[in-house]
Chain A
């Protein structure tokens, strides 16, 4: 009887281990499609310092600015900054800005291609959008871009405008750096800000880069920084609230799905840590026995 009960318990435990990931997946999927049932949920950072600082940096640009978008996000962290990136790009477009997109990493180029496609589908023509392509050589290519960034084959009004401004990064009114693990805003500060100190650098980066980027924001080397998911969402949400027309971009990530995932993770971590502590206490008790 005891053996049968133990076997049943083991079977239940084994089945549960198989079912649990699928159950979690179904729960998360349901949370994504369901609206936020609990009103107090908010993914946007209640502290709007970064978001409003970024907005002020964009507002400080001249009218119809020419902005270089350096797209070097990576596949792993781009979902975290997609909403912020699209919100900022949309803001620049609304301001009448012209964009030139360049990448120094292959992954960044792949993501930039998709974003360029999205912008073209949204009706942005060659008069306001220029693809500067992928440049191999990472930091060496970045340094080279300071003096020469337009490929010889590029044509159109933006290419003419950049060539008229010297042909390098100095021709732009600002650079928007969409960073990732390969090439982030820090390298831009090191390699470009030292050579073109007048160029305002705006950066969007995943949270893991925040500790290394925050000093650059504090020192003014970065004019604006959206360095966490919650800052990015705060920027996008405020923008959507203030916009006359509905934003042509997807909404922010689901706060409910995020909350559920985090609660599951916290539960698993605490349960596993509790198990470990219990067994450790048991070992200590056994060790104390004569």
Chain B
């Protein structure tokens, strides 16, 4: 009984949401709306639980002197500053001026700087990847070089020609591969969902 309850719940909730998607009915919509509210609440609770688990993990690391202690300290300090900024009386929560400043003046530039480093890291990784002597790496990097050449921001006739070829490459070969991938993923997801809804998959019960 204990094992079949989650499976039953998943099947019932899934079927109600599916029915609401295809049938226009006010009562059904109300039930589906309530279920969606529970889902949203559950997601919020999961986010809070995740934050708490992270904080507890790093407090534990500090107490037992294990792992990267300066990193743990920095993480906890960052969380504390952000929470103080949001919970300070009259601050306005996530829209408080301190939170906005922390995001706009600290977080965003730091993340942007981190992503800017990707250019150098990717080039270094490409060189190292080739040293591994993988034929696939060579093909991949040659393709990357060709893509870069096609995307060169040139003007004039050469620029127009390169842009036309780049557009064709994006629309036809890359588009075809990507769409094939997406259709494959969609079919696999639909099959997995159907297995769960028809209760022929034991995943939920485990």
Chain A residues with a Cβ under 8 A of chain B: 21, 24, 39-43, 45-47, 75-76, 79, 109-111, 113-114, 117, 131, 133-138, 140-141, 143-144, 147, 194, 207, 210-212, 214-215, 228, 230, 255, 258-259, 261-266, 268-270, 272-273, 275-277, 279-280
Contact = CB atoms under 8 A, between A and B. Distances in A.
Contacts, number: 145
B103 interface: yes
B133 interface: yes
B100 A21 contact: no
Interface in B118-152: 119-120, 123, 126-127, 130, 133, 138, 141-142, 144-145, 148-149, 151-152
Contact of A111 (B44, B108, B159): B108
Contacts of B40: 135-137, 140-141, 144
B145 A266 contact: yes
A110 B107 contact: yes
Nearest to A283: B133
Contact of A75 (B43, B111, B138, B163): B111
Given A40-B156, A230-B153, A259-B152, A117 B108 contact: no
Nearest to B178: A211
A113 B159 CA distance: 37
A210 B103 contact: no
B44 A136 contact: yes
B43 A137 contact: yes
B54 to A, nearest CB: 14
B94 interface: yes
Contact of A272 (B130, B152, B171): B130
B154 A40 contact: yes
Interface stretch (B2-10, B31-39, B55-63, B73-81): B31-39
Lowest 9 A-B CB distances belong to which pairs? A137-B40, A211-B178, A40-B155, A42-B155, A140-B39, A75-B111, A137-B43, A269-B145, A46-B160
Contacts of A144: 33, 36-37, 40
A43 B166 CA distance: 13
B201 interface: no
24 contacts: A46-B155, A46-B160, A75-B108, A76-B111, A114-B104, A133-B94, A133-B95, A134-B94, A136-B43, A136-B47, A137-B44, A140-B36, A144-B36, A147-B33, A211-B178, A230-B151, A230-B163, A266-B149, A268-B126, A269-B123, A269-B141, A269-B144, A269-B148, A275-B130
